[in-house]
Amino acid sequence: MALADRYLTLQRDVHSGEVLARGGDPEAHSILQRTGFIPIVRVHERYHRLPTGLDEAEEERLATRAVARLRAVHYHVNCDAAFETELREAHSLPLGALVAHQAERIRRRPPPKRSRTP
């Protein structure tokens, strides 16, 4: 993985007022989407934005949470001062990874002992 993929910017766009996240790799994109960001894919660019219709407090809460989750897994995030946090929130695994992890735990569990009844 390229080192450049470990860097993101998460800022409010000065023209539109939208909260935008740019950069990162597929893991960062997954974290952003599970935090509430919407992926935008255009011909020459890819980025994430928060949904429209949120109030400013909710936008700041979600953006701050995304910063905390990304930094918890060692991404370098350049963000607006309003989104800055010292928290490092663990991000949850995608559903498929959670199911695979649970299946592995079940496979490793020893079979139950059966009692003999006369």
Supply the pLDDT for residue 58: 96
DSSP label at 115?
Answer: P
Amino acid at 77: V
According to DSSP, the residues that pair with 22 across neighbouring strands are: 9, 47
Predicted pLDDT at 106? 80
Beta bridge partners of 78: 9
pLDDT score, position 4: 67
Q: What are the pLDDT tens digits along the chain (118 aa)?
A: 566 678 999 999 999 999 999 999 999 999 999 999 999 999 998 999 999 999 999 999 999 999 999 999 899 999 999 999 887 876 666 667 667 767 777 887 777 777 666 6
Pairing of strands 19-23, 7-12: antiparallel
What's the rounded Cα separation, in Å, for the pair 118 and 107?
30
